[in-house]
Amino acid sequence: MAPPLSVSGGWFLGLKQRHILFMALGGSVGAGLFLGSGGAIQQAGTSVLLAYVLCGIVVFLIGRAAAELALSDPGGRTLNAFVGRYMGARMEFLVGWSYWLIWTLVCISEITAAGIFVRHWMPEVPQWAVAAVLGGVLLAVGSRAVATFGEMEFWLAIIKIWAILALIGCGLVTILGHVGPAGPHASFGHLWQAGVLLPHGMTGFAAILPMALFAFGGTEIIALTAAETDDAVRVLPRVINGIVGRIIVFYVGSLAVIMAIVPWGEADATHSPFVLAFQHMGLPMAGEAINAVMALAALSSCNAGLYATSRTLASLAESGMASARLRERSASGVPAMAFAASFATVLAGVVLNYFLPDQLFGYAIQGVAFLLIFVWASIMVAHLAYRQSADGARGQVAALPGAPASNWLAIAFLLAIGLDIVWVGRLYVPFLLDAAWLAALVLLHGRLSARRAGASVV
């Protein structure tokens, strides 16, 4: 049986504050910004900036709630463990397996995106082959000590941030100094000119809210690092306080610069707005470099996803909700069997890339939406239960600001986004599939509970 973990010290600590900060950045700043934001600009115009700010505030509340739960429970290791303590074993089962599936789908989508970006230079290489090579890199790193994983994530995220800052810096020179081909025409005044703020009305704004919200997906991963972080009580509150603000600056800052340079009508879902901006600035080679950054961004997100899936699967095993073998850890503390099982999902993504090279990315992303809403809402409900419990009455560490009102605000916003996806986005099939997944988990948990009850009687 694995030794107990602690948020104040443990047997395989190694993640530092910079690792956790950039792990959250790595999970959140990916293909959604570098590629997907083009479609958001096309749909909502400059109101996309307001969408990212609103969604960032809500995700900040969710992250603070998750961090508070993590620091209140020294024996907890993952989100499902925190939820289970205050909402029962059934919810722990549902949240754990759903969170595992979320990051499984993210890994598949991101490794698919990486293959698409790499094929920009090597179109003759099959997409599945690129995904296989990148998967091998992730296997080599993720199976080593957690500090090695943290270092890789740190440097991958640094590259993404440099690219964003380079765009913002070059863009400001172009806009304020009127430098380069786009200089005479670039202006922040384009952000509020007629017809650009809400080009498709409130319907267009509502359509991109889910995209903006899910762009912040991954920030809650901070709570999973509590047991593997040196001085978590000091580090986690600092990280969560800074991470959402940084992400908002990166998203809002880069997109504001892009829309000041690139005419609104040129943005679409098939081209990276970053590449378009550099081309307009007369820096086509920088635009080419963005393709490499996008590939690394996707690899970084997949790296963070394997961390989340392996730790969640190990936690489920330790709670008796998955095979006991999955809780086994290597000498360096890595949940080796859980990592191997989770990595098998990446291999499944490689296989699917062979059969569905063009459709896989969209299918995987759509499957995440409702499950992520479910997990985030469960965190906020569990936090409410925690505050009403004896544990919460004794005092909080990194307390969620404005609770319980902020809990209900976040829950209402998440439910509104869910309705938005169904009625505006018309994603009926992903909704029904995710509902079927949760119903199947409820039935499976009932059968497992009945089997345990029968065994205890015997």
In this predicted model, what pLDDT tens digit does every residue of 84-128 receive, in sequence order?
989 999 999 999 999 999 988 888 877 777 777 777 777 787 777
Q: Which of 58-62, 183-187, 414-418, 428-432 has the lowest mean pLDDT?
A: 428-432
What pLDDT is recorded for position 122? 78
The partner residues of 229 in beta bridges, in order of sequence, read 15
Confidence of residue 411 (pLDDT cuts 50, 70, 90): very high
Please give the Cα distance from 112 to 352 (Å, whole number).
9
Mean pLDDT value across residues 172-192: 92
Mean pLDDT of the residues in the chain: 81
> What is the CB neighbour count within 10 angstroms for residue 197?
16
Based on its alpha-carbon atoms, the radius of gyration of the chain, rounded to whole angstroms, reads 22
Mean pLDDT value across residues 70-94: 83
Q: Where are the alpha helices (DSSP H) in 216-327?
A: 232-261, 273-280, 284-318
Q: Which of 193-202, 276-285, 340-349 has the lowest mean pLDDT?
A: 340-349
Phi-psi region of 218 (alpha: psi -120 to 50; beta: other; left: phi over 0): left
- Residue 11, pLDDT > 50, answer no
The partner residues of 15 in beta bridges, in order of sequence, read 229
> 399 in a domain, yes or no?
no
What pLDDT is recorded for position 124? 80
More confident residue, 229 or 204: 204
Share of the chain above pLDDT 90, in %: 25
> What is the CB neighbour count within 10 angstroms for residue 263?
13
What pLDDT is recorded for position 176? 94
What pLDDT is recorded for position 418? 92
Please give the Cα distance from 183 to 190 (Å, whole number).
13
What pLDDT is recorded for position 344? 84
More confident residue, 379 or 213: 379
Length of the chain, in residues: 458
Q: Which of 134-148, 256-270, 395-409 has the lowest mean pLDDT?
A: 134-148
What pLDDT is recorded for position 198? 87
Please give the Cα distance from 61 to 67 (Å, whole number).
10
85 CB contacts (<8 Å, ≥6 apart)? 73, 76, 92, 382, 386
For the packed helices 360-388 and 89-118, what is the interaxial angle rounded to 10 degrees? Answer: 150
**Residue 48: both structure tokens together:** 């996309």
155 CB contacts (<8 Å, ≥6 apart)? none
Q: Which of 99-108, 249-258, 349-358, 440-449 has the lowest mean pLDDT?
A: 349-358
> What is the CB neighbour count within 10 angstroms for residue 272?
23
3-state helix, strand, coil in the chain (%, to 5): 75, 0, 25
**Residue 284: both structure tokens together:** 């086509």
Comparing CA positions, the residue from 393, 308, 376 lying closest to residue 106 is: 308
Torsion sign over Cα 277, 283, 287, 292: negative
What pLDDT is recorded for position 3? 32
What pLDDT is recorded for position 377? 96
Mean pLDDT value across residues 324-335: 81
Do residues 168 and 257 touch, judged by C-beta distance below 8 A? yes
Comparing CA positions, the residue from 368, 386, 376, 372 lying closest to residue 58 is: 376
**Segments forming the whole domain that contains residue 165:** 17-384
Confidence of residue 441 (pLDDT cuts 50, 70, 90): very high
What pLDDT is recorded for position 261? 94
Mean pLDDT value across residues 203-229: 78
- Residue 360, pLDDT > 70, answer no
Confidence of residue 413 (pLDDT cuts 50, 70, 90): very high
> What is the CB neighbour count within 10 angstroms for residue 198?
15
User: Ranked by mean pLDDT, which of 138-147, 257-266, 326-335, 435-444 comes out on top?
Assistant: 435-444
What's the total number of domains in the chain? 1
What pLDDT is recorded for position 147? 62
Mean pLDDT value across residues 438-451: 92
Confidence of residue 149 (pLDDT cuts 50, 70, 90): low
> 111 in a domain, yes or no?
yes
What pLDDT is recorded for position 282? 92
- Residue 357: give its domain's CATH number: 1.20.1740.10
- Residue 12, pLDDT > 60, answer no
What pLDDT is recorded for position 353? 65
The partner residues of 169 in beta bridges, in order of sequence, read none
In this predicted model, what pLDDT tens digit does every residue of 303-329 receive, in sequence order?
778 888 888 898 899 888 998 899 888
In this predicted model, what pLDDT tens digit does every residue of 217-230 receive, in sequence order?
777 777 776 656 66
**Residue 54: both structure tokens together:** 């609103």
What pLDDT is recorded for position 258? 94
User: Ranked by mean pLDDT, which of 20-34, 171-185, 201-215 comes out on top?
Assistant: 171-185
